[in-house]
């Protein structure tokens, strides 16, 4: 068991961070969050400025939760109007965790046209069946499977992980990542718009999934994923001219380019704060 004390000038809210839907392998039980991240089975809780955890060292925890990113500076940079200002006041301490590209890519392929519990189920089944076992603080957990492990799974068995019509997309991504193990390094090394195009070469990855992976795994904080909630929120607060119910490609581009201009280089943080403050989690609660 390890504990670290958070700096008073660097807010962090573990509950908001893990419950806002950005990562799919966390569950809260009896006051503790437990999950698997980057091959570590981690159990962690927060009491005010104290973080207590087991399953990883302090360096990993700081890195995964981006505790060294200057959050007040980020929030100050996006705080440009009353709507985002309210979201910041409500969700201060929410941080974007640093996910692994491969797991994040597959997770968001599995997230198309579906809800968060279903994504968790799919990712969990793939890990449980094909991921490396990890002895951790809550029994045997499983790492997310490496590309080769998934590439060797038959379509029928992948289908049985409840992937549905996404099965073929995951299978192709696994084959590609097995043959091109440096794919993520190459995406990380090129400019944002090019990286976005590169991710959309994957079958099953469109604008929304690409923006999520760019934001959550590659640290492209200007990425602004647009789902129906964000579309609704942006339509109400910023772009009242939005028409129709569906987000057409042209409309998607209009929203994300507006956000990049309006919020600046950390537009992705604005997206998370708006989603967290006014999206489905809050309305349900």
Partner DNA sequence: CCCCAGGGGATTT
Partner DNA sequence: AAATCCCATGGG
- CA pair distance 83, 78, nearest whole angstrom: 11
Quick check: 111 binds DNA (CB under 7 A)?
yes
User: Shortest gap between Cβ of 73 and DNA (angstroms)?
Assistant: 30
Q: What single DSSP character describes residue 244?
A: S
Which of 169, 170, 256, 274 is the binder for DNA (CB under 7 A)?
Answer: 169
Q: How far is the CB of 182 from DNA (least distance, A)?
A: 22
Q: In which element (H, E) is residue 105 found?
A: helix 101-109
Residue selected from 132, 165, 181, 189 as contacting DNA according to rule CB under 7 A: 165
Among 7-15, 29-37, 245-253, 262-270, the segment contacting DNA (CB under 7 A): 245-253
Q: Verify binding: residue 115, DNA, rule CB under 7 A.
A: yes
CA 86 to chain centre: 22
Query: Is residue 162 within the footprint of DNA (CB under 7 A)?
Result: yes
Q: Does 246 participate in binding DNA (rule CB under 7 A)?
A: yes
How many residues form the binding site for DNA (CB under 7 A)? 33
Closest distance of CB 68 from DNA, Å: 31
Closest CA to 77 of 276, 264, 274, 268: 264
The window from 10-18, 26-34, 65-73, 247-255 that contacts DNA (CB under 7 A) reads 247-255
Q: Which of 32, 138, 159, 176 binds DNA (CB under 7 A)?
A: 159
Does residue 121 belong to the site contacting DNA (CB under 7 A)?
A: yes
Nearer Cβ to DNA, position 160 or 179?
Answer: 160
Rounded distance, CA 90 to CA 86, Å? Answer: 6
Distance CA 223, CA 227 (A): 13
Q: CB-wise, 5 or 113, nearer to DNA? A: 113
Bridge pairing between strands 40-47 and 32-37: antiparallel
Burial 50-80 (b: 16+ CB within 10 A, else e): ebebbbbeeeebeebbbbebebeebbebbbe
Alpha carbon 136 to its chain's center: 23
CA angle 37/273/256 to nearest 5° reads 100
Using rule CB under 7 A, residue 5 touches DNA: no
For residue 274, state whether it binds DNA (rule: CB under 7 A): no
- In the list 85, 112, 128, 258, the residue contacting DNA (rule: CB under 7 A) is 112
């Amino acid at each position: 068991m390890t504990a670290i004390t958070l700096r008073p000038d660097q807010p962090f809210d573990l509950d908001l961070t893990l419950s806002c839907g950005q990562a799919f392998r966390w569950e809260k039980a009896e006051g503790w969050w437990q999950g698997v991240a980057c091959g570590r089975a981690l159990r962690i809780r927060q009491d005010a400025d104290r973080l207590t955890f087991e399953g990883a060292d302090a360096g990993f925890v700081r890195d995964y939760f981006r505790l060294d990113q200057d959050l007040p500076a980020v929030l100050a940079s996006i705080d440009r109007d009353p709507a985002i200002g309210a979201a910041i006041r409500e969700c201060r301490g929410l941080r974007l965790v640093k996910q692994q590209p491969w797991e994040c890519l597959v997770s968001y392929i599995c997230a198309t046209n579906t809800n968060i519990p279903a994504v968790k189920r799919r990712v969990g089944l793939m890990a449980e069946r094909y991921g490396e076992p990890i002895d951790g603080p809550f029994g045997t957990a499983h790492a997310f499977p490496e590309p080769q492990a998934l590439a060797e799974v038959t379509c029928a068995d992948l289908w049985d992980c409840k992937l549905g019509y996404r099965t073929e997309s995951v299978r192709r991504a696994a084959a590609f990542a097995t043959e091109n193990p440096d794919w993520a390094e190459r995406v990380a090394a090129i400019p944002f718009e090019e990286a976005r195009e590169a991710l959309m070469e994957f079958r099953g990855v469109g604008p929304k999934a690409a923006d999520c992976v760019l934001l959550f795994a590659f640290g492209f904080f200007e990425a602004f994923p647009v789902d129906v909630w964000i579309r609704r929120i942006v339509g109400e607060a910023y772009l009242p001219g939005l028409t129709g119910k569906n987000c057409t490609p042209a409309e998607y581009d209009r929203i994300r380019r507006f956000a990049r201009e309006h919020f600046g280089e950390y537009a992705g943080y604005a997206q998370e704060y708006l989603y967290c403050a006014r999206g489905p989690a809050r309305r349900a609660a």
